Amino acid sequence: MPAPDRYAVIGHPIAHSRSPWIHAEFARATGQSLIYTAIDAAPEALSDTIRAFFDGGGRGLNVTAPHKEAVLELLPSLSERARIAGAVNTIAWQPSGALLGDNTDGVGFVRDLRHNLGIEIEGRRVLLLGAGGAARGLLAPLLAEQPLEVVIANRGAARACELATRFAAPGPVRGTGYNELAPPAFGLIVNATAASMHQLLPPLAEGLVGPGTVCYDLAYGSQDSPFVRWARERGAALSCMGGGMLVEQAAESFLLWRGMRPDTAAVLARLSP
Ligand code: NDP
């Protein structure tokens, strides 16, 4: 019997990742023979670690914080959505030997909001917190849902403005710093910063959350994040963590690697915190 195909998620830190469990569940449910592990690689070791993984027969990687942008220059070919995002969360080995970079974050996010949570983005004013790799992946699929406006806020405002300029063509989007955020309340607030990983809250003004506001933290874990608690205390219509997106983006990666999209509902229901 041939050895199982090898996959992994690469990030720094990575111990918290639930991706190995999710992909093991997908493999079991679909009868696919594969092994999926987690690799901790500091930025200076990223290139060598990726090369060693694929030279050793690896078939695919998920890429997580803080490597989603840095990995771009290591990849000879990119999918259209990864090119538009300027960020990669999935790498696929191809028979030609050329590694393909893809981005499944945005489609996973929109799918969780619309299909799992029943939230429509169309017509909402959206506040996107953060301008890192995850925010980049979200923007094109988010704009495709036709929000009224997308405001990107980042600690380094210049990075938010640069991102807004990059995405200016597909829709109404602008960048700003946190100190310029003010009421009226937004329809959707997405926390795509790494603050929750450190139990921190971005410096958010009062009046941004109203009774109709949906608040979504990309972070996931056993405890509600400071952002989720902040939103709930201010009466948000819905305030949730990113476990659903995690499962949906994983399913899209699995589809790219294995040619089949696993059922996500069963895995989402069993995603232990
Ligand atoms: P990056 O390192 O690429 O970007 C981090 C971003 O967070 C930057 O915009 C940075 O701002 C900002 N930031 C960091 N610390 C703080 C803070 N204390 N206050 C305010 N802003 C802060 O990370 P990623 O974009 O790859 O990941 C971001 C988060 O999204 C992580 O928590 C990750 O786990 C989560 N994620 C979840 C997914 C899911 O499927 N649920 C998928 C992808 C990501 P600055 O530029 O000013 O430094």
Residue 25 has pLDDT above 80, yes or no: yes
User: 100-131 b/e with 16+ CB inside 10 Å = b?
Assistant: bbbbbbbbbbbbbbeebeebebeebbbbbbbb
203: CA distance to ligand 1 center in Å? 14
The tokens describing 158, both together, are 């210049």
- pLDDT at residue 90, as a whole number: 98
The tokens describing 71, both together, are 């990995």
Per-residue model confidence as pLDDT tens digits over 118-127:
999 999 999 9
Q: For residues 80 and 34, what is the distance between their CA atoms, to the nearest angstrom?
A: 27
Percentage of the chain lying above the pLDDT 90 cut: 93
- pLDDT at residue 217, as a whole number: 98
225: CA distance to ligand 1 center in Å? 13
Per-residue model confidence as pLDDT tens digits over 55-104:
999 999 999 999 999 999 999 999 999 999 999 999 999 999 899 999 99
SS3 43: helix
SS3 240: strand
Indicate whether this model's pTM tops 0.75.
yes
Residues labelled as active-site residues: 68
Per-residue model confidence as pLDDT tens digits over 144-185:
999 999 999 999 999 999 999 999 877 799 999 999 999 999
Confidence of residue 272 (pLDDT cuts 50, 70, 90): low
Q: For residues 36 and 61, what is the distance between their CA atoms, to the nearest angstrom?
A: 9
17: CA distance to ligand 1 center in Å? 15
CA-angle at 256, arms to 69 and 145, nearest 5°: 70
Residue nearest to atom 18 of ligand 1 (CA): 195
**Closest-lying ligand 1 atom to the alpha carbon of residue 244:** 41
For the chain, where are the alpha helices, taking DSSP H only?
A: 19-30, 46-55, 80-85, 105-111, 133-144, 157-166, 226-233, 243-258, 265-270
Q: For residues 262 and 27, what is the distance between their CA atoms, to the nearest angstrom?
A: 8
Confidence of residue 31 (pLDDT cuts 50, 70, 90): very high
Residue nearest to atom 2 of ligand 1 (CA): 66
The tokens describing 198, both together, are 């450190």
Per-residue model confidence as pLDDT tens digits over 201-241:
999 999 999 999 999 999 998 889 999 999 999 999 999 99
The tokens describing 144, both together, are 């495709």
- pLDDT at residue 110, as a whole number: 98
Which residue out of 111, 155, 227 has the highest number of ligand 1 atoms within 8 Å of its CB and is therefore the one to mutate? 155
Per the CB < 8 A criterion, the answer to whether 196 and 225 are in contact is: yes
4: CA distance to ligand 1 center in Å? 33
Q: Is the peptide bond before 13 cis (omega within 30 degrees of 0)?
A: yes
Between helix 19-30 and helix 243-258 the angle, nearest 10°, is 50
Pairing of strands 60-63, 125-129: unpaired
Per the CB < 8 A criterion, the answer to whether 150 and 143 are in contact is: yes
Residue 273 has pLDDT above 70, yes or no: no
Edge-to-edge strand list for the sheet holding 238-240 = 173-176, 149-153, 125-129, 188-191, 214-217, 238-240
Residue nearest to atom 33 of ligand 1 (CA): 219
- pLDDT at residue 151, as a whole number: 98
Q: For residues 26 and 255, what is the distance between their CA atoms, to the nearest angstrom?
A: 10
Ligand 1 interacting residues, C-beta cut-off 6 A: 65-66, 68, 105, 108, 130-135, 154-156, 159, 192-197, 200, 202, 218-220, 242, 245-246, 249
Which residue out of 88, 199, 218 has the highest number of ligand 1 atoms within 8 Å of its CB and is therefore the one to mutate? 218
Per the CB < 8 A criterion, the answer to whether 222 and 160 are in contact is: no
**Which DSSP string do the residues of 113-162 spell out, in sequence order?**
IIIIS----TT-EEEEE--SHHHHHHHHHHHHT--SEEEEE-SSHHHHHH
Which residue out of 102, 193, 204 has the highest number of ligand 1 atoms within 8 Å of its CB and is therefore the one to mutate? 193
132: CA distance to ligand 1 center in Å? 6
252: CA distance to ligand 1 center in Å? 21
